[in-house]
Structure 1
Amino acid sequence: MARRVPFIPDGVPVLSRGRHRSPRKGACFMEMASFLAGERWSDHPACTDPVLAELARWVNDVLDDAHRQQLVIMVPEVVGLKPEDPPATTALLLTAARAALPVATYDRQNLMALAILNAERVLAGREGHSTDHLSAASRAALTSSPAAERWARAQLSRHGSSPAAVRPAGATKIMALAVDGIARAWVDDRQERLVKLLRDGIDVMAAYSPILPNHVVAS
């Protein structure tokens, strides 16, 4: 069966932190994406959903040099990845909040739990589920922090039953806190968790998108 594999040309720069004026100075994740897309060199290319691009920039910048290179194979996958379905942003936010809640410091846990519950309610309404529906992944994340879940449910009850719409600006703020929370967590595998977060984020956005022609096909 044919499978899609990413194509990365020889000679691309090694991934490094921050912005770079040209490929000769290095490249971050999204700058490499702009190169593969044939766009002007930029860490804010038009080829990728802006919320996903923010996540990629944050993960790129907080990883150490060794783990950052694990992201290279993911770069081609974000070229052209711009789902038009509004729930995509909600699903991406949910992915980040679930990843952060079990390991984030106490001051971040309440916000992550609230983001999970609200995102689940938004998606449940669109998919025909009851508003108290929880996916297994969200249930597992919330179980890790019962006090945060209680606080979040109290906030939702106080402010009414209708879920708040997830807007790109709000989603990027939550995801920034999620990435920072994982990066600062007192766990030995925080770098691996950040790599996995970007992997999962790309997969979530791809699920809301058509098959893209930015991969070569191998038998």
Structure 2
Amino acid sequence: MNGYGKVARPDPCVMELVSRLAREPWTDRPSCVHPTLSAVARAVHDHSSSAGRRALLPLAPSFLGTAQPGFESTARLVSLCVSTALVGGELTTDERRRLSRAHQTAVHFLTGQDELAGSARWWFPVLDRVGQSESFYRTFVAPEHAAEAVSVTARAADDVRLRGLLKQCLAVAGSAVATAPSIVAGGRAPI
């Protein structure tokens, strides 16, 4: 980790409230929330003022049930956060390179047109052969990319803009949930 997720939390995180609403153990990584969306929420919380953190709490119910698998919703979240960071602030050369590669990889997963970039060129083919590429991207790679992008965006953004970015991410995750096939008891989609 590059340090962008290591900020002391004096106020409860919106993800901790979500864990309570979902009747999960107290955590800032509830299983009912998409891991990348959860990383964005934690990063927005960490870079908000105390008043900004409190303003995030009413969003808690919107996070419930967003933990849908799939490259599309994950890549859309990364693409949104990274493109916001790339156009909205001053970046170091290393940050610009990492975020550009993250964006290129997200676009690849959305369209299949661009080449995989950065380390994804190496891990994706190996993990794809064993059926683990999506979960690895969704759980480990994408949250790191999104959290770094929020950290970069936060340098030039106030609480309102950060909350707006989080709301956009919720809309992306919510649209993925709305278009996912509904699951009935027994774990099967209706025919």
Q: Does TM-score exceed 0.5, indicating one fold?
A: yes
Q: Which runs of 5+ in 1 are unaligned?
A: 1-16, 20-25, 126-130, 133-152, 213-219
Instruction: State whether structure 2 residue 18 is matched by structure 1 residue 50.
Output: no
| Matching residue's letter, 1:49 | H
Task: Count how many residue pairs are aligned between Structure 1 and Structure 2.
Answer: 157
Q: Are 2:175 and 1:207 aligned?
A: yes
Q: Indicate whether 1:111 and 2:102 are aligned.
A: no
Contact 2:39–2:144 (Cα < 8 Å) also in 1: no
1:119-130 pair list within 5 angstroms: 119-125=106-112
The runs of 5 or more residues in structure 2 that have no matched partner are: 1-7, 126-132, 181-191
Which residue matches 1:196? 164
Q: Per-residue displacement from partner, 1:173-207 (whole Å, max 9, x unpaired)? A: 2112111111223xxx4332211111111111111
Structure 1 residues 104 and 48, CA gap change in structure 2 (3 angstroms): same
1:66-77 → structure 2 map (5 Å cutoff): 66-77=51-62
Letter in 1 for 2:31: A
Cα distance between partner residues in 2 of 1:79 and 1:59: 18
8 Å Cα contact 1:34-1:42 kept in structure 2: yes
Between the aligned residues of both structures, percent identity stands at 27
SS in 2 for 1:106: coil
Greater share of residues in helix: 2
Selected match of 1:177 from 148, 162, 183: 148
**Quick check: 1:182–1:193 contact (8 Å CA) kept in 2?**
no
Aligned with residue 12 of structure 2, among 24, 27, 52:
27
| Residue identity opposite 1:202 in structure 2 | L
Q: In angstroms, what is the RMSD of aligned CA positions?
A: 2.9
Structure showing greater radius of gyration is: 1
Partners of 1:64 and 1:112 lie apart in 2 by: 25
Distance 1:61 1:101 in 2: 20
Distance of 2:20 and 2:72 partners within structure 1? 28
- The structure-2 alpha-carbon separation of the partners of 1:205 and 1:28, relative to structure 1 and needing over 3 Å to count, comes to same
Please state if 1:80 is matched with 2:48. Answer: no
Q: Deviations over 1:94-147 (max 9, x none)?
A: 01101111123231223323322332232112xxxxx26xxxxxxxxxxxxxxx
Please give the alpha-carbon distance, in whole angstroms, between the structure 2 residues aligned to 1:84 and 1:45: 15
2:26: which partner in 1? 41
Report the alpha carbon displacement of residue 41 of structure 1 after superposing the two structures with TM.
1.9
Find the counterpart in structure 2 of residue 139 from structure 1. none
User: Given the two structures, how large is their TM-score scaled by the length of structure 1?
Assistant: 0.62
C-alpha separation in 2, matches of 1:184 and 1:93: 18
Aligned residue identity for 1:181: V
Amino acid across the alignment from 2:36: V
The answer to whether the 8 Å contact 1:29/1:72 transfers is yes
